[in-house]
Amino acid sequence: MKLRWFVTFLVWPLMACTQMAVDPAPVAETPGSLWQQRQKQLATFVNWNLKGRLAVRAGTRSDSASLIWKRSDTGQEIQLFGPFGGGRVHISQNPDRAILADGAGQEIQGRSAEEVLFSALAWSVPFTEMGYWVRGLPAPGKHDGIGLDYGGRARHLTQRGWQIEYPEYRTFQGVELPNRIVIRALPGTVTLDRGDPTPVDPISVKLVIGSWSGQPKAG
């Protein structure tokens, strides 16, 4: 009898140890897996509004303006207020064309927001790609490298002749999004023609976002 009880008590600890040993350990999230989750989440936010401050520089020339930017899957509206453009600039774009209207009532038409802005003010601002970059995403197509932090957020990205840096993020409506963005043209890629014999001033664009709102695309 005593021997049977001894064997019983001996077997139970062994069974418990065996069960504990086979429990799988939790798998830690990697920056790469977190980045994949962020891409899926942010890719649905194609209808969004932001307000902020935009500054551009090329050589000794610089400008800045307050920015209101509304974007959807069918087009976008960009409003610039302040010294940039000497007052107010409104750009509307749909899949067919873009129209820029200034404070004097003059209009310029073109194929894209960046085209009409360059025609009016001689500034190259890549609004098409920035529609993705402001969310911390690469634009569709090839890019030349992306650096992630431990939280799976983009910290720097190189694409289409531009280098994009994300020094700061903030939480807007429960989603971490870039709060400050610095965009620099790589040497010899995007330059500003000032009418000089050697137009080689590289361009930099800085954006500070004050408020950001968006809704995921239905379906």
Say if 161 falls within a structural domain: yes
Compute the distance between CA of residue 108 and CA of residue 88 in angstroms, rounded to an integer: 14
Name which residue leads in pLDDT, 147 or 103. Answer: 147
Say if 18 falls within a structural domain: no
Say if 171 falls within a structural domain: yes
pTM (two decimals): 0.82
Say if 16 falls within a structural domain: no
- pLDDT tens readout for residues 88-139: 899 999 999 999 998 888 899 999 999 999 998 888 899 999 999 999 999 9
Residues spanned by the domain of 54 = 31-214
Which pLDDT belongs to residue 29?
86
Q: Looking at the predicted structure, is the pLDDT value of residue 60 above 60? A: yes
Which pLDDT belongs to residue 27?
59
Say if 17 falls within a structural domain: no
List the structure tokens of 47.
């209808």
Beta bridge partners of 107: 101
Closest residue by Cα to residue 70 from 205, 193, 179, 215: 215
In angstroms and rounded to an integer, the radius of gyration of the C-alpha atoms of the chain is 26
* Coil, helix or strand at residue 23: coil
DSSP-derived secondary structure letter, 42? H
CATH number at residue 160: 2.50.20.10
Say if 13 falls within a structural domain: no
Say if 61 falls within a structural domain: yes
* Count of structural domains, the chain: 1
Which pLDDT belongs to residue 160?
93
Say if 63 falls within a structural domain: yes
